[in-house]
Chain A
Amino acid sequence: MSPRQHNDQAGRIAPAQAREELMVWEALNIALDREMDADDSVFLLGEDVGLYGGSYRVSQGLLAKYGEWRVRDTPISEGSFTGLGVGAALVGGRPIIEIMTVNFSLLALDALVNMAAKLRYMSGGQLRVPLVARMPGGVAHQLAAQHSQRLEQMLMNVPGLRVVAPGTPQDSYWHMRQAVRTDDPIVILEHELLYFHKGPFDPDAKPPPMHSAAIRRHGTQATVIAWHRMVEVALEAAERLAADGIEIEVIDLRSLRPIDLPTLQASVRRTGCALVVEEDVRFAGAGAEIAAALGERCFGDLNQPVRRLGAADAPTPYEAGLESASIPDLTAVVNAVRMMLGS
């Protein structure tokens, strides 16, 4: 499973100077290079991150620059190499582990949930676990049920973990750099379909706080909350609705633990109406937490219950048509907003 067909060991690190447009994988690659260059306790490990350069090219060129002790190709042993990251973090390292897809993170959950997330707390604050776990995921091109999951809700339910979900090159860069410098274990959810998306990039711009949400489009009639690829679906829906004179606000959550509720609340106060759009399974998904939190905090501002769109309550099908139908799309968002506004 990889979008890459050929080994690209000669590949170089993307040049770090400011460019107008960059792809998400390039932004991550530059962020890794800068952090590894700045701090020699930062190291990267995972399956095929070194010689092969990473399934999505994110670690391309780093092995040649930093050597195999800092860019380590691991055996297929998620449970132990993730735990290796925890052990190294405890004694002074700042490891970044790549779990090739979020689906395989289930094999590493003991290390992430039982170890990384709890060691600071149950040692009475003595231990620190500055571990970054990167996980590509999402519904991509017909990868079928075992390679198409979104596990936001599982990771969000764990006190002690931070979870971020950058969707743009700029956010990917900022999130990665800030995550490496954080003393807590942090999961960076990356979306497989976004790696080769281009977007504006300025490596020297001032980053927003890691856990703040971003308003991608301002509007007055409804708030649409999304992250990763669903942000672009929501923005397309906003264009479509604007043609009919309906102005929706689109918020890119950027962080799933914690959630920037003040930004969401302020928006809901203006619009009185909120829709969460997620690619994760709707049942007990991230959207349920967001809807409940807004219900508790903004009841008086809402003119109707917070609505949710999410994936069907089924494993992701292989067949292309069914796969598309299993997650929210432009039409679903447009229709949901229209229904909420009674138009």
Chain B
Amino acid sequence: MNQDLARQFLFDMSLARAFEQASAQQYSEGKIGGFLHLYPGEEAVAVGVLRAADPGDYVVSTYREHVHALVRGIPAREVMAELFGRSTGCSGGYGGSMHLFDIGRRFLGGYAIVGETFPVAIGAGYWLRMREQSEAVVCFFGDGAANQGTFHESLNMAALWELPVLFVCENNRYQIGTEIHRHSALTEVHRRACAYGMDAERVDGMDVVAVYEATDAALRHVHAGNGPYLLECETYRYRGHSMADSGAYRPEAELAEERGRDPVSGFRDRALKQGWLDERQASQIESEADAAVQDAVQFADASPAPDDLQANVYSNPLDLYKGRP
């Protein structure tokens, strides 16, 4: 750990927390529509994993991906504008909360159907391997996705062809409202990788330093051409599955216990204690993050809506359909 990294971690996690709080607020005010899946509690995973990844690595994400997008470097303005459905959003207002994309930053989405991330990731990995390129693919998924057929199909192919893919399980123990002991015969997701001879490991997903170090080691394995790797991060989401879900199915004691090991305040305390940051520096970082989020909301609110319903359905207009009633 060094001071720059500590500063980065605290900024990323503060930005993430503030961004998601602002999103919830804007959703309540009707500025954001559709489904909105928020990330508080899980910040250490996105930050630890993506700060360990190289800028050249591809990232494939799920429908709970605002923070992945932010840490990847997509400006908060563009992410918030996308939630608002504005043309300045990172998907032009056509994707929304669940479909954030930024090909320039190698951020490949944004998939709203559980289990879709695996084949996309092995596809990018196949291409990299076929072209003998050195980059890797980081593929996020939740504990619920481990029960989809594509998980097993894709892990099999990834291991069989030694594809450069790091599978990152964000195990928050709930598949919407179904607790992991009620949805999985084997609740330790990393152990499933052994079925395909894939190296795997479990890490405390509430500890950003642990996630960062584990990812760094895992990606070194992948980048060195040793094939795929599966990293299971044990984490927790404080909110319900989406804004439509109060999360009332969870015991209050469980929630309180998880809040007690909050990844953001936990890291802040540790950084102060270790002397990586002082109080003044930490407060200033948090203020910067808050300001960036406020700016993003104002930017989104002032941005125009997209106006072309037919844009980008095809690469070029199918002219046979032009000018029809």
List A241-270 residues whose CB lies under 8 Å from chain B. Answer: 258-262
List A287-334 residues whose CB lies under 8 Å from chain B. Answer: 296-297
Q: Looking at the complex, which of A109-117, A192-200, A220-228 is the stretch in contact with chain B? A: A109-117
0/1 interface trace, chain B 209-241, chain A, CB 8 Å (1 if under): 000000000000000000000000000000000
How many whole Å from A315's CB to the nearest CB in chain B?
A: 25
Contact of A90 with B120 in the complex, beta carbons under 8 Å: yes
Number of A residues with CB within 8 Å of any CB on chain B: 51
Interface residue from B60, B116, B312 paired with A121 (Cβ < 8 Å): B312
Task: State the CA gap A119–B315 with chains docked (Å).
Answer: 11
Task: State the CA gap A296–B315 with chains docked (Å).
Answer: 28
How many whole Å from B282's CB to the nearest CB in chain A?
A: 36
- Chain B residues in 8 Å Cβ range of A85: 123
Task: State the CA gap A184–B295 with chains docked (Å).
Answer: 37
- Chain A residues in 8 Å Cβ range of B321: 258
How many whole Å from B220's CB to the nearest CB in chain A?
A: 22
How many whole Å from B66's CB to the nearest CB in chain A?
A: 16
Nearest A residue to B325, CB-CB: A296
0/1 interface trace, chain A 151-189, chain B, CB 8 Å (1 if under): 000000001101000000000000000000011100000
Contact of A184 with B314 in the complex, beta carbons under 8 Å: yes
Task: State the CA gap A67–B321 with chains docked (Å).
Answer: 41
0/1 interface trace, chain A 70-95, chain B, CB 8 Å (1 if under): 10001101011111111111111101
Contact of A84 with B116 in the complex, beta carbons under 8 Å: no
Q: Looking at the complex, which of A123-131, A134-142, A229-237 is the stretch in contact with chain B? A: A123-131
Contact of A84 with B103 in the complex, beta carbons under 8 Å: no
Task: State the CA gap A263–B174 with chains docked (Å).
Answer: 55
Task: State the CA gap A90–B128 with chains docked (Å).
Answer: 12
How many whole Å from B79's CB to the nearest CB in chain A?
A: 13
Contact of A87 with B315 in the complex, beta carbons under 8 Å: no
List B277-325 residues whose CB lies under 8 Å from chain A. Answer: 306, 311-316, 318, 320-321, 324-325
- Specify the main secondary structure of chain B where it touches its partner: mixed
Number of B residues with CB within 8 Å of any CB on chain A: 53
- Chain A residues in 8 Å Cβ range of B58: 91
Is B150 close to A, CB under 8 A? yes
- Chain A residues in 8 Å Cβ range of B313: 120-121, 159-160
- Chain B residues in 8 Å Cβ range of A95: 123
List B63-91 residues whose CB lies under 8 Å from chain A. Answer: 89-91
Task: State the CA gap A114–B111 with chains docked (Å).
Answer: 9
Task: State the CA gap A290–B150 with chains docked (Å).
Answer: 36
- Chain A residues in 8 Å Cβ range of B103: 90, 123, 126-127
Task: State the CA gap A182–B90 with chains docked (Å).
Answer: 25
Task: State the CA gap A114–B160 with chains docked (Å).
Answer: 26
Nearest B residue to A69, CB-CB: B130
Is B156 close to A, CB under 8 A? yes
Task: State the CA gap A262–B324 with chains docked (Å).
Answer: 10
Is A147 close to B, CB under 8 A? no
Is A211 close to B, CB under 8 A? yes
Is B122 close to A, CB under 8 A? yes
Is A122 close to B, CB under 8 A? yes
Is A43 close to B, CB under 8 A? yes
Task: State the CA gap A121–B123 with chains docked (Å).
Answer: 20
In the complex where A81-B157, A260-B320, A261-B320 touch, is A124 in contact with B123 (Cβ < 8 A)?
no
- Chain B residues in 8 Å Cβ range of A128: 315
Task: State the CA gap A43–B131 with chains docked (Å).
Answer: 11
Task: State the CA gap A86–B123 with chains docked (Å).
Answer: 7
In the complex where A121-B94, A160-B313 touch, is A81 in contact with B119 (Cβ < 8 A)?
yes
Is B145 close to A, CB under 8 A? no
Contact of B120 with A77 in the complex, beta carbons under 8 Å: no
In the complex where A79-B153, A123-B91, A211-B320 touch, is A84 in contact with B122 (Cβ < 8 A)?
yes
Contact of B119 with A83 in the complex, beta carbons under 8 Å: yes
- Chain B residues in 8 Å Cβ range of A77: 153-154, 156-157
Contact of A87 with B123 in the complex, beta carbons under 8 Å: yes
**Which 10 A-B pairs have CB atoms at the shortest separation, nearest pair first?**
A87-B123, A83-B119, A124-B92, A80-B153, A183-B315, A77-B153, A87-B120, A123-B101, A125-B312, A88-B123
